[in-house]
Amino acid sequence: MKFYPAKIFIALMLLTTVSCSEYNKLLKSGSNKQKYDKALEYFNAGKYSRSLTLFKDIEHIFSQSDQADTVAFYTSLCSYKMGDFETSSQQFDEFRRRFGRSPFLEESEYYFAKGFYYLSPKPENDQSFTFQAMQAISEYLDRYPKSQKRDELLENMIELRQKLYDKAFLNAKLYYDVGYYNSAVTALRNAILKYPESNHREELAYLIVSAQCLYARNSVPALQRQRYLDTQNAYYSFIDEYPESKYRKEADKMQDEAKKFLEKYKEKPDGTEAEDSEEVTESAPSLNFSDQTGTTAKRGKAERKEKKEAKAAVEKEHKPAKESKAAREPKPKKEKSEKSNKSDNSETSNGTEEK
């Protein structure tokens, strides 16, 4: 049997031409009943674009008839099948509010939720559609707990929730990646508090330890001690929850760094740093200030302290001498006042005698 591809191609072209002419003729001069029937036929054949055009053409005519919900439902479903999920979600939302007793109600609410599910973007993008999808699916499962689509929607819900976990993790890790370690600690902790069941929880806890260590390492000397203490606190919380973590070795290295620093630069009981703290700028790992700046600051502080002690010693030496000299000098004002008192007393006694 011979095969003639050219003849087959010509035959297909003729059929397409006839079909197009029939479709155009129906749009221009067909009755509403013919358009309605042909729209359903096109939909079942998978020709959603033609079906949508015909349904929209007769939508206002059937708006007050018994077929109003059918036309509205298939119009929305055509948009859904064509991949226009944003439009279909709006149409299905309007349908379920307008036709609360329609036999298509459950199916329209299912497609309403699925439309938002397909609109949900990757974790790197805004997750507004993800929240809308989760809300729509929850509402559907609450209203139709025995639905055959329940298992499918539950899987969709798990997938959507995972996107939220990924989004929170990526947002928090972004601060860490760009070097904003203090902000990273806050963001990482917030991610754990918001989604404690997240599958990123272990890595988030480890990144808190790492961010605290890097924050301490890159701090000025006056603040390093407290920030290394914070590193230790984060480390102990991490290993308490994940003692066999795959990040344990790296976390142990950070703990050793913090421990060595705190042992070398201890505090005195009065809260001041020990004498060997002057070496912080020379031997502490990766400080921000230069050695020259740190040494100059320490030297100025020591000079001011020496001046203050010298001044106190001078005052202490001269104070007793002044007091002894003052004790030897007469007090004229007091003697004068005593003499005046004596003269007053003598006058008073004389007056009494004269009387």
Same domain, 35 and 136: no
Contact 120, 134 (CB under 8 A): no
Do 187 and 213 fall within a single domain?
A: yes
Is residue 288 situated within a structural domain? yes
Smallest Cα–Cα separation from 46: which of 22, 75, 18, 81?
A: 81
User: Which of residues 112, 134, 155 is at a domain's end?
Assistant: 112
Helix, strand or coil, per DSSP, at residue 239: helix
pLDDT confidence of residue 268:
47
223 in a domain, yes or no? yes
Instruction: Say how many domains are in the chain.
Output: 3
Same domain, residue pair 147 and 183: no
Question: Do 36 and 71 meet the contact criterion of CB atoms below 8 Å apart?
Answer: yes
Residues 40 and 95 in one domain: yes
Closest Cα to residue 298, out of 321, 317, 273, 316? 273
Q: Is residue 8 part of a domain?
A: no
162 and 202 fall within a common domain: no
The CATH number covering residue 65 comes to: 1.25.40.10
Shared domain for 159 and 206, answered yes or no, is no
Q: Are residues 108 and 124 in the same domain?
A: no
Which residue intervals of 218-279 are DSSP H helices? 221-241, 248-264
pLDDT at 28: 76
Q: Is 341 a domain residue?
A: no
Q: Got the DSSP string for 71-137? A: HHHHHHHHHHHTT-HHHHHHHHHHHHHH-TT-TTHHHHHHHHHHHHHHH---TTS--HHHHHHHHHH
Q: How far apart are CA 11 and CA 18, in angstroms?
A: 11
Instruction: Give pTM, 2 decimals.
Output: 0.68
Cα 235 to its chain centre, rounded Å, is: 22
290/235 same-domain check: yes
313 is a domain residue: no
Structural domain contains residue 291: yes
Q: Which domain holds residue 132?
A: 120-169
pLDDT on residue 265: 80
- Classify residue 233: in a domain, yes or no: yes
Amino acid at 112: F
Q: Does residue 280 sit in the same domain as residue 186?
A: yes
- Please, are residues 262 and 228 in contact by the beta-carbon 8 Å criterion? yes
Q: What is the pLDDT along the chain (355 residues), one digit of tens a residue?
A: 444 454 444 444 434 444 467 788 877 767 889 999 999 999 999 999 999 999 999 999 998 899 999 999 999 999 999 999 999 999 999 999 999 999 999 999 999 999 999 999 999 999 999 999 999 999 999 999 999 999 999 999 999 999 999 999 999 999 999 999 999 999 999 999 999 999 999 999 999 999 999 999 999 999 999 999 999 999 999 999 999 999 999 999 999 999 999 998 875 444 445 444 333 333 333 333 334 444 444 455 555 666 566 566 546 555 544 444 444 445 444 444 444 444 444 444 444 444 3
Residue 61 lies in a domain: yes
Domain end marker among 68, 90, 112: 112
**pLDDT in the model for residue 307:** 59
| First-to-final CA distance of the chain | 174
* Phi and psi torsions of 183, nearest 5°: -65, -35
Domain boundary among 299, 321, 349: 299
* Burial of 322 (C-beta count, 10 Å sphere; 0-12/13-18/19+): exposed
128 and 105 in one domain? no
Q: Coil, helix or strand for 159?
A: helix
Identify residue 75 by its one-letter amino acid code.
T
Q: Are residues 44 and 133 in the same domain?
A: no
Residues 153 and 200 in one domain: no
